[in-house]
Amino acid sequence: MTAVKKVPFHLTNTLTRKKEEFVPSDPPHVGLYVCGPTVYSDVHLGNVRTFTSFDVLYRWLTHIGYNVRYVRNITDVGHLLGDAADGEDRISKGARAEQLEPMEVVQKYTNGFHAVMRLFNNLDPSIEPTATGHLLEQVEMVQRILKSGFAYESNGSVYFDVPKYAEKHGYGGLSGRKIDELLANTRGTEGQDEKRSPLDFAIWKNAEPEHLMKWNSPWGVGFPGWHLECSVMSTKYLGSTFDIHGGGMDLKFPHHECEIAQSVAADGQVPVRYWMHTNMLTVNGRKMSKSEGNGFTPEELISGDHKLLDRGYSPMTVRFFMLQCHYASTLDFSNEALQAAEKGLSRLMAATDLLPNLRPAASSEVDVAALEQRCYDAMNDDLNTPVMIAELFEGVRIINSVNDGKLSLDQEGIDQLSRLFEAMVFDVLGLMREGAGAASDRVLDGLVKEFIHMRAEAKASRDFATSDRIRDRLLELGIQLNDTKEGTTWNKV
Ligand code: AMP
Ligand code: ZN
């Protein structure tokens, strides 16, 4: 039997725009930082897609033997509306709207975020730091940037001096932006007079008296700029240069570009070796977002209670739908695609359930090792989950043929296939069996309706012994039938 090659892993590094072999700086340790949610409202399904993509990265790196420290932050201050320098803080806006303390808003939506992550079977990160928990470190980083000469104080705020930095170190490499073009595209905005250049961004912002979240600092009362927290928290827990930094594509600019500039300016270190950016979940081609009004929450998705949804779908159906698309491609939401994913997932799970009962043959007609190798190759090729899933369906075809007695597989082959499915379906893709999920509920509903129909037929032919037996047997199984004027309904008891 040929041994399956499980490494090396290749990842598209968005910094170099190339697919590169992933070599950690201190194997077997891997440092992974992912920008977490801004906890001022419910997460929508687009956010879930991004965190699910990184969950699969985390699972895969762990599966191929790395010891991953996964840091995913909670943004609880500093992220302004419209990402502008002069917008209202998102958390403060939420607090005003809901008449809550800002920290109540933070707690409420952090809890909600955790519940959603669990629902979709996304693993907890190793560390989940908050921006407000790292204010001292942020102030210190501002001081280091001031000391290195790449920032200046103005009216109680501190701005990063982009043109000065760009001249020395270059700026825009990650996002492919050019300073001249950026300058040409800037419009006069309020508060800009404090800045030397419209490209400069606040690393510390002076707080107006009505501002809710503010702290004392060497520059007066204020709050940190949004980009600063990620620079501080990633390097605090993963070191001044760490392996992988991720986030949605929309964070490349300005957020991640500014992160690089801050770290280089403060500590003279390029912070990240591999950048990974995931693509967007869209609705009719438009990015799903809160402001577009085309975002729905996971709860709405499960209940089906939203204008975009024909009916409800289970969390694992949605996870499977997402993983059937490569993380770097856009994924357009549609009811048809979800229905297809539901069918595919139930075929996959049904085959997985058959595995323990397959009858071994004396010899094997199947090369399971080759199938296993193709699964590893797909995942090692930039986390190609759609190709890996297609390989698993080749496995499904084999399992069904063996079960039907049309193909022979020996005990060793069955064991190898079982291990492969256990690893890929559950550990790597993170799918779960859904006992009482939407799909199985629909099957149950269909079956009970069939019995109701049989009972009605028995009654019509005055076979009351049969009709009563159907009713009593269903009740023993926890299904109660109710005869009403409109017909017979059922419920679980
Ligand atoms: P936010 O809470 O807005 O900072 O977003 C949290 C994460 O979700 C970020 O990494 C965003 O890039 C990501 N995100 C936002 N909208 C979408 C979308 N429609 N599809 C995929 N990811 C998204
Ligand atoms: Zn971030």
User: Which residues are within 8 A (CB) of 141 and not within 5 positions of it... i.e. 6 or more apart?
Assistant: 203, 228, 231, 232, 262, 266
Mean pLDDT of 391-407: 97
Count of beta carbons in the 10 Å neighbourhood of residue 196: 14
User: What distance in angstroms lies between residue 332's CA and the mean position of ligand 1's atoms?
Assistant: 15
Mean pLDDT of 412-419: 97
- Quick check: 63 pLDDT over 90? yes
Regarding predicted confidence, which is higher, 378 or 453? 378
Q: Which residue's alpha carbon is nearest to atom 12 within ligand 1?
A: 248
Q: Which residue's alpha carbon is nearest to atom 18 within ligand 1?
A: 46
Ligand 1 atom closest to Cα of residue 247: 10
Ligand nearest to the CA of 33: 2
| Architecture category of domain 11-278 in CATH | 3-Layer(aba) Sandwich (3.40)
How confident is the model at residue 82, as a pLDDT? 65
How confident is the model at residue 98, as a pLDDT? 87
Using one digit for the tens of pLDDT, what is the confidence trace for 442-471?
Answer: 677 778 888 999 999 999 999 999 999 999
How confident is the model at residue 94, as a pLDDT? 83
| Predicted confidence band of residue 493 (pLDDT cuts 50, 70, 90) | confident
Q: Where are the domains of the chain?
A: 11-278, 282-434
Distance from chain centroid for Cα 335: 20
| Class of domain 282-434 as given by CATH | mainly alpha
User: What distance in angstroms lies between residue 319's CA and the mean position of ligand 2's atoms?
Assistant: 24
Using one digit for the tens of pLDDT, what is the confidence trace for 111-139?
Answer: 999 999 999 999 999 999 999 999 999 99
Cis peptide before 198 (omega within 30 of 0): no
| Predicted confidence band of residue 193 (pLDDT cuts 50, 70, 90) | confident
Q: Which residue's alpha carbon is nearest to atom 9 within ligand 1?
A: 248
How confident is the model at residue 214, as a pLDDT? 93
- Quick check: 401 pLDDT over 90? yes
How confident is the model at residue 441, as a pLDDT? 64
Q: Which residue's alpha carbon is nearest to atom 15 within ligand 1?
A: 47
Beta-bridge partners for 479: 492
Regarding predicted confidence, which is higher, 291 or 188? 291
Q: Which residue's alpha carbon is nearest to atom 17 within ligand 1?
A: 46
- Which residues contact ligand 1 via a Cβ below 6 A? 35, 37-38, 46-47, 49-50, 247-248, 250-251, 280-281, 287-289
User: What distance in angstroms lies between residue 47's CA and the mean position of ligand 1's atoms?
Assistant: 4
Ligand 1 atom closest to Cα of residue 35: 10
* Residue labelled with tokens 């999920």: 437
**Among 321, 322, 358, CA closest to 341:** 321
User: What distance in angstroms lies between residue 232's CA and the mean position of ligand 2's atoms?
Assistant: 10
- Quick check: 171 pLDDT over 80? yes
How confident is the model at residue 184, as a pLDDT? 84
Q: Which of 186-195, 202-211, 417-426 has the highest mean pLDDT?
A: 417-426
